[in-house]
Amino acid sequence: MTVERDGVAARAGAAFPRRILSGMRPTGRLHLGNYVGALENWVRLQEAGWSNFHMVADWHMLTTGHEDTSALQSDIHEMVVDWLAAGLDPKRCVLFVQSAVQEHAELHLLLSMLVSKARLERIPTLKEQIRDLHLDEATISYGHLGYSVLQAADILLYKASHVPVGEDQVPHVELTRELARRFNFLYCQDREPVFPEPEAQLTAFPRLRGLDGSRMSKSLGNTILLADSPEEIAAKVKQAYTDPKKIRANDPGRPDADPLDGHPGCVVYEYQRKFNPGGAADVAARCRAGTLACVPDKGHLSEVLAAALAPVRERRARWSADPSAVRDVIADGNRRARAVAEATMDEVRSAMGLKPRAALAR
Ligand code: TRP
């Protein structure tokens, strides 16, 4: 038996199909780290026949940036263009915007009854945000405290079996599992469980560092964007951190980290390993021997990156030339997401003893 739901073929046999729900805060144009850490993996799952739901987490964005929303719509648009550029196929994936599906708010409210304030305050991701953004714990908004409950609603509405996330997001998936279990226990004694317990799916490749060797982040200006031209890539790679002790061209270099000396490892080598897996060992050997200088090494990496990103750049050019086609993709995704979310909310309301939607004038 093949289960066909919302036009996406799901794997037969399982009570809950193999489905991913990813969420990404709309930060505008995406960078190489987003590509390696997330997009590449989503495309791989799409090719393997999974049911892919990809959500622009615009309400989540408001938790830490609600004052100035002037760039929000263009950031959403640019990010979806990059998703399409990375190779997500809107026929096989559902690309949608959280705020277009109001059921996220409804499920968030219902789930918020099932978790204590103390439990939310213990979530390490929130604690890290408070530390990193220098927030005052006493001024955290009600919405920000509930961030992870909203994320649980995002995931459970689509009954995702897997959630592709970075290490930092695992506590949110853990909370999602708890909420699914609690809901099923409280309200599904006399029926099939409404929610699966989703699993976090960590990406295989470790996070790429930024060009300067620190954490890759748009705000730090150390990224290569998927939208960058080969010339822009070359100019940025020229600035990349290598080995500060390799001064002359024929000095032996240290591709790997040297913790005793505070050397975090050459960024060019790190990118070579990722984008030129077959040739990176040779590059490193010649660097160590002092027969490869940083300038030609960087020139070579720029070519490798430009070639690896060529298909992305071509698709990006096509989609960005046609903004109304992108808007159509989003509108269609919103519609398909809404259909699934509405069906789930019917089950949720029924299990909880709330009136079905059909009984309400809408
Ligand atoms: N919290 C995630 C982040 O900051 C974004 C997100 C929102 C998300 N909803 C989600 C991720 C649902 C996975 C599933 O990166």
Is pLDDT at 1 greater than 50 in this prediction? no
Q: Which of 193, 135, 190 is nearest to 159 (CA)?
A: 193
- In this structure, the strands spanning 162-165 and 199-202 are parallel
Residue pair 101/48 in contact (Cβ under 8 Å)? The answer is: no
Q: Which of 317, 307, 315, 319 is nearest to 233 (CA)?
A: 307
Q: What topology is assigned to 228-319 in CATH?
A: Tyrosyl-Transfer RNA Synthetase (1.10.240)
Q: What distances in angstroms separate CA 288 from CA 14, 77, 255, 273, 298, one per listed residue?
A: 52, 44, 7, 15, 15
Q: Which DSSP symbol is given to 210?
A: P
289 Cβ neighbours under 8 A, 6+ residues apart: 252
pLDDT per position as a tens digit, 146-198: 999 999 999 999 999 999 998 889 999 999 999 999 999 999 999 999 999 99
> What pLDDT, on the 0 to 100 scale, is given for residue 32?
94
CATH of 3-208+322-361, one of 3.30.1300.10, 1.10.3470.10, 3.90.1570.30, 3.40.50.620: 3.40.50.620
Radius of gyration of the chain (CA): 23
Percentage above 70 pLDDT, the chain: 95
Is pLDDT at 238 greater than 70 in this prediction? yes
**Bridge partners, 164 (sequence order):** 201
Q: How far is the CA of 34 from the centre of ligand 1 (A)?
A: 13
Is pLDDT at 347 greater than 60 in this prediction? yes
Identify the residues whose C-beta falls under 6 Å from ligand 1.
Answer: 21-23, 25, 57, 60, 151, 154-155, 163, 165, 169
Q: How confident is the model at residue 132 (pLDDT cuts 50, 70, 90)?
A: confident
Q: How confident is the model at residue 138 (pLDDT cuts 50, 70, 90)?
A: confident
Residue pair 222/200 in contact (Cβ under 8 Å)? The answer is: no
Question: Which range is most confident: 24-38, 83-97, 252-266?
Answer: 83-97
Q: How confident is the model at residue 12 (pLDDT cuts 50, 70, 90)?
A: very low
Which run of H or of E encompasses 14? Answer: none
| Shared fold status for 3-208+322-361 and 228-319 | no
In degrees, rounded to 5, the angle at the alpha carbon of residue 119 between the alpha carbons of residues 115 and 122 is: 155
Is pLDDT at 129 greater than 90 in this prediction? no
> What pLDDT, on the 0 to 100 scale, is given for residue 168?
85
Residue with the nearest Cα to atom 10 of ligand 1?
23
Residue with the nearest Cα to atom 7 of ligand 1?
23
Q: How far is the CA of 26 from the centre of ligand 1 (A)?
A: 11
Q: How confident is the model at residue 340 (pLDDT cuts 50, 70, 90)?
A: very high
Q: Which of 48, 77, 81, 86 is nearest to 162 (CA)?
A: 48
Q: How far is the CA of 294 from the centre of ligand 1 (A)?
A: 38
Q: Domain ranges for the chain, please list them.
A: 3-208+322-361, 228-319
> Ligand 1, closest atom to CA 60?
7
| 123, two tokens | 């979530």
